Amino acid sequence: MIVYFSVLIVVVLAAFIARKSESKILSNCMLGIAFITMVLAAGLRSRIVGTDTGAYVYIFSKVRTFADVMSYGGDMQEYGFWGLNWLIHYISNEYMVLFFAIAVIVIGCYQWAILKYTESIEVAFFIFITMGFYLFFFNGARQGIACAIYSLAIGPMLKRNFIKYLGYVILAILFHKTAVMMLPMYFVFNRPNTFKNNLFTFVLGCIAVLFIDKLVGVASSIDARYATYGSAGGSGGYVSFGFTFLLGAFFLTFRDSVRIDRYLYDRFLNMFLFGVMIGMVSTYLGTDPSGLLRYAIYFNIAAIFLWPIVFINLHDRLSRFVIGYSFVIFYLAYFVLATQKFSDYIPYFFNPSVSAFFH
């Protein structure tokens, strides 16, 4: 955990200084330090850090020509990722370069969205790291890229620019087909958060439970990898769902206290509650947490933008202290538990070529 905590401390501190600084040069330097720190930790890791990382290294070794891109892409309809692998070979055949390229794309997209749609950037970066969005692409590179690209669609959604929103979603689909489900979400999220709309989300979840076999059947007809998404396969999702459920309950309860940025809060709350619904369905059915539950990450990124709005709307010192203190403890506990338990993030090993450099 030393590497991950070091990244967390450097990034949050740099973001805090960047926000507080009156010098644009210093602010940009601090944001650059935050970006480079996250990219370095992701790019310099060994292939054994992350459950699926070895598989991506194997794919990288196989996709060397444009014909390979068309072959693999034709099988999975995710030409973006295979194309990225092919292009990286023009730079180097070392998988470290692929890791760096993925990190630059993912972190670049998220950092742009954070800087664009929230003022309390240190809070947003804290959430980004401790809630697992940063580490997610260490393991699920393709979906990690798709989620990061989708974060850029948040702006067009808020501004009701469907064409631009559609463009970002289509780009995300090129890296992971699960992003296709975000197309209708433009109309679901862009509403005030009301009891009626929340009831609609809940009913949608109940329908998903009743018709999960049919939904999985349709999905598996498109891609055989989704055939197991509705079947029982483990209990690893309970911690994640319990965490997001508590957050959803808090955000929903806090809504009445929001006076500043209420429009944004409602849209992000709609988004987050939809993710809670997916977690509820997955947990109730006992499905493999690497299947259905991974859909929720597209929606859970709303927490990055919800928390800064929460703190802006805390006006007395006592509530800021209590909620702020609980917020830090709660998230750090989840960060440690999730990082130690899931996806082989620990222990962290450097790329062998990097380790050899220091010997």
Domain ranges of the chain: 191-313
pLDDT of residue 12: 96
pLDDT of residue 235: 46
Average pLDDT over residues 29-35: 96
- Where residue 359 falls among pLDDT bands split at 50, 70, 90? low
pLDDT of residue 218: 46
**Choice between 235 and 20, residue whose per-residue pLDDT is larger:** 20
- The per-residue pLDDT of the chain, averaged, comes to 83
- Where residue 129 falls among pLDDT bands split at 50, 70, 90? very high
Average pLDDT over residues 214-233: 47
- Where residue 165 falls among pLDDT bands split at 50, 70, 90? very high
Q: Which residues contact 339 (CB under 8 A, 6 or more apart)?
A: 1, 4, 132, 135, 345, 346
Average pLDDT over residues 133-145: 90
Look up residue 333 and give its two tokens: 């506990």
pLDDT of residue 74: 67
- Where residue 237 falls among pLDDT bands split at 50, 70, 90? low
pLDDT of residue 269: 93
pLDDT of residue 51: 83
Average pLDDT over residues 195-215: 65
By the 8 A CB rule, do 289 and 234 touch? yes
- pLDDT tens-digit series, residues 37-75: 999 999 999 888 888 888 888 888 888 888 877 877 666
Q: How many CB atoms lie within 10 A of CB 158?
A: 17
Polymer length of the chain: 359
Alpha carbons 62 and 52: distance in angstroms, whole number: 16
pLDDT of residue 107: 96
pLDDT of residue 268: 94
pLDDT of residue 277: 83
Residues forming beta bridges with residue 232, ordered by sequence position: 287
Average pLDDT over residues 264-280: 88
**Choice between 285 and 212, residue whose per-residue pLDDT is larger:** 285
Q: Dihedrals φ, ψ of 36, to 5°? A: -65, -40
**Choice between 203 and 20, residue whose per-residue pLDDT is larger:** 20
- pLDDT tens-digit series, residues 93-127: 888 999 999 999 999 999 999 999 988 999 999 99
pLDDT of residue 125: 96
Q: The pTM is what?
A: 0.87
pLDDT of residue 80: 86
Q: Tell whether the torsion through CA atoms of 193, 194, 196 and 201 is positive or negative.
A: positive
Inter-residue long-range contacts of 69-78, CB under 8 Å, 24+ positions, other chains counted = 76/177, 76/223, 77/177, 77/223, 78/142, 78/173, 78/174, 78/175, 78/176, 78/177
pLDDT of residue 14: 96
Q: b/e string for 202-240 if b means 16 or more Cβ within 10 A?
A: eeebeebeeebeebbeebeeeeeebebbbeebeeebeeb
pLDDT of residue 212: 46
Residue 205 CA from chain centroid, whole number: 21
- Where residue 230 falls among pLDDT bands split at 50, 70, 90? very low
- Where residue 284 falls among pLDDT bands split at 50, 70, 90? low
pLDDT of residue 232: 44
Task: With CA atoms as reference, report the closest residue to 296 among 274, 270, 266, 267.
Answer: 274
Out of 255-259, 274-278, 298-302, least confident range: 274-278
Task: With CA atoms as reference, report the closest residue to 297 among 143, 153, 103.
Answer: 143
Average pLDDT over residues 316-322: 84
pLDDT of residue 213: 47
Alpha carbons 356 and 359: distance in angstroms, whole number: 5
- 248 has a pLDDT exceeding 80: yes
Q: Which residues contact 137 (CB under 8 A, 6 or more apart)?
A: 42, 102, 103, 106, 143, 144, 145, 147, 148
By the 8 A CB rule, do 88 and 104 touch? no
